[in-house]
A and B are shown apart, each in its own frame.
Chain A
Amino acid sequence: MNTPTLAPVAELIARLAASIRPRLSAHTRLVGIHTGGVWVAEALAKELGLPPPAAIDVSFHRDDHHLGNGLKQGGRASQLENVEGAPLLLVDDVLYTGRTVRAALNEIFDFGRPLRVDLAVLVDRGGRELPICAQFVAATLSLPPTQSLELMRDEEGRLSFCLQEK
């Protein structure tokens, strides 16, 4: 199924970068959430002329580990340094229930106390289950829970969204 309501990812990234740029401080550091969020953060860093982003894996803080859903993709440790006192911009591809962002905040605080954490996402698809919102959003959609929206990357590094029935 294609995604007629969504602009191409490159356009979304440009739009997101444009909204972030005026609010950027000299010390802002990008932190991408594995896996899609890291791709978006890398693209944003290029657009904004920032150093390569940090990457975090939120598996350790998922709230469904006891349900057998945690840590399925092994082998990625968070790469995060000098968190203490830093302004962070957390980046993900899709904002949905908010549970991933909650886990990401816990993961970040395991490395230190940041000055502040803002959130930037390419798509807010609605369906929040926690009181979480993003400061920067490139596109808003309202998708039913029966559909999954996932960012994909092809061999040439091009990003595209894949909308599927679950």
Chain B
Amino acid sequence: MTDNPQLSAAGELRHLLTLEGLPRDLIHALLDRAETFTAVADREVKKVPLLRGKSVFNLFFENSTRTRTTFEIAAKRLSADVINLNISTSSTAKGESLLDTIDNLAAMQADMFVVRHAASGAPFLIARHLAATGRDHIHVINAGDGRHAHPTQGLLDVFTIRHYKKDFEKLTVAVVGDILHSRVARSELFALATLGAREIRLIGPKTLLPLEAEKMIPNAPLSVYHDLAKGLVGVDVVMMLRLQNERMQGALLASREEYCKHWGLTPERLKLAKPDAIVLHPGPMNRGVEIDSAVADGPQAVILKQVTFGIAVRMAVMSWLAGGGA
């Protein structure tokens, strides 16, 4: 993305808006830093002072429990002051525009905005607005925008994969489910492609995959499968996506039961993957729809480790932005 405001003229990461276009070295450096933060939770004092005196505003225009909570914990472990705004009950509900809300919060000496918004591009709009008004010392982290990107989720997914599998060049990764509407999938794919995964299989019904899905990411080793059993054969990593309930209403799918029958990850289907394959899911899970409970609670699932690692990854991103990068 040429007009991406997340990198400064000197190539420093000022905001984290998307993983698209981030160099491999930078992604690895962020993951390395996250590694150092994983041990902070084991200390007598579970806090480090890197963001002491900084104010982090969690701006969630769309509901979230896991992402908002882990951002809050991450900011608190860095000693920041965290302000959670419940936007649905705030002035936005009274008609205030997004940028007016931002201006008001900036006037409260915000240092960082963590933004979740239903509109794709909202965090970009905020970052550009801050730059245009001479307040680009305030950092913006995209915590999920529409169908576009969820970069910290993408990072924590590749962190989890790196933790268990080390070498991306040897990995075949399956991404299963509603890839068309998933910002998580897009961020995962950019990260996997940049880190050099050997093969990435996009698996899902035709109605939930983009047209020409194999060209979603330029120069990435993508292949498309419309048969879950075929797609899972021999993979090292299975990344499940959440089936969003609203997709049922749009006539993209017949029913939850029908979806489960064809696209649910059952223990039998997981046996087609490598014996040591790991299973990821960004949550929240629909048990019995896209994933069977026996798999979700089984030995190959690393779903709760993703949640724990998510804290360290978000600490890495926040401290990186506040510290002016490396």
A and B are partners in one complex rather than unrelated chains: yes
Q: Residues of A with Cβ closer than 8 Å to B?
A: 57, 59-61, 65-72, 74-78, 83-84, 106, 109-112
Q: A57-B36, A74-B35, A110-B44 are in contact. Are A66 and B49 (CB under 8 A)?
A: no
Contact check: which of A61, A66, A110 meets B322 at CB < 8 Å? A66
A77 touching B36, Cβ below 8 Å = yes
Query: Which residues on B sit within 8 Å (CB–CB) of A60?
Result: 40, 48-50
- Besides A60-B50, A71-B36, A74-B29, 10 other A-B contacts (C-beta < 8 A): A57-B36, A61-B49, A65-B323, A71-B50, A77-B35, A77-B36, A84-B44, A109-B45, A111-B43, A111-B44
B36 pairs with A76, CB closer than 8 A:
yes
Closest Cβ of chain B to A82, distance in Å, is 11
Residues of A near B48 (CB, < 8 A) are: 60-61, 110
B134 touches A (CB below 8 Å): no
Q: How far is the CA of A70 from the CA of B319 in the complex (A)?
A: 9
Which residues of chain A come closer than 8 Å to B47, judged between CB atoms? 110
Q: List 12 A-B contacts (CB under 8 A).
A: A57-B36, A61-B49, A71-B319, A71-B320, A72-B326, A74-B33, A75-B32, A75-B33, A75-B35, A106-B49, A110-B45, A111-B45
CB-defined contacts of A70 to chain B, threshold 8 Å:
50, 319, 323
Please give, as numbers and ranges, the residues of chain B lying within 8 Å of A109 by CB-CB distance.
45
Known: A60-B50, A70-B50, A76-B36. A110 touches B43 (CB 8 A): yes
Q: Check B29–A65 contact: CB distance below 8 A.
A: no
Residue on B nearest A113 in the bound complex, by CB: B44
Our pick among A71, A78, A112 for the contact of B323 (Cβ within 8 Å) is A71
Q: Which residues of B (85-119) have their CB < 8 Å from a CB of A?
A: none
Kindly state whether residue B324 has any CB partner on chain A within 8 Å. yes
* Contact in complex: A71, B43 (CB < 8 Å): no
Contacts of A76 in B (CB 8 A): 36
* A-B CB contacts (within 8 Å), total count: 60
Chain B proximity of A67: nearest CB distance (Å): 7
Measured between C-beta atoms, what is the minimum distance from B313 to chain A in Å?
13
Residues of A within 8 A of B40 (CB): 60
Give the chain A neighbours of B43 by CB distance below 8 A: 110-111
Q: How far is the CB of B316 from chain A (nearest CB, A)?
A: 8
Which residue in chain B gives the minimum CB-CB distance to A61?
A: B49
Asked if residues A65 and B35 are in contact (CB atoms below 8 Å), the reply is no
Binary CB contact string for chain B from 27 to 38 against chain A (1 if under 8 A, 0 otherwise): 001001101101
- Tell whether, in the assembled complex, residue B50 and residue A77 are in contact, meaning their CB atoms are under 8 Å apart: no
Q: B39 on the interface (CB 8 Å rule)? A: yes
Within the complex, the shortest CB–CB distance from A105 to chain B, in Å, comes to: 13
> Does B288 lie at the interface of the complex (its beta carbon under 8 Å from any beta carbon of A)?
no
The chain B residue sitting closest to A64, CB to CB, is B323
A111–B320 Cα distance when bound, in Å, is: 24
Chain B contacts of A68 at CB under 8 A? 323-325
State A59–B49 Cα separation when bound (angstroms). Answer: 10
Q: When chains A and B are docked, how far (Å) is the Cα of A76 from the Cα of B33? A: 8
Bound complex: CA A110 to CA B32 (Å):
21
| Bound CA span A61–B194, Å | 32
Q: Are the C-beta atoms of B36 and A74 separated by less than 8 Å?
A: yes
Chain A hits for B33, CB < 8 A: 71, 74-75
| B324 contact set on A, CB distance < 8 A | 66-68
Q: Give the distance to chain A from B56, nearest Cβ to Cβ, in Å.
A: 14
Per CB-CB distance, the 4 closest pairs between chain A and chain B, nearest first, are A68-B324, A74-B32, A60-B48, A110-B45
- A-side contacts of B323, CB under 8 Å: 65-66, 68-71
Q: Which residues of B contact A57 (CB under 8 A)?
A: 36
Partner of B44, one of A61, A67, A77, A112: A112
A59 CB contacts on chain B under 8 angstroms: 36
User: Which residue of chain B lies nearest to A103 when distances are taken between CB atoms in the complex?
Assistant: B49
A71 to B49, CA, bound (A): 12
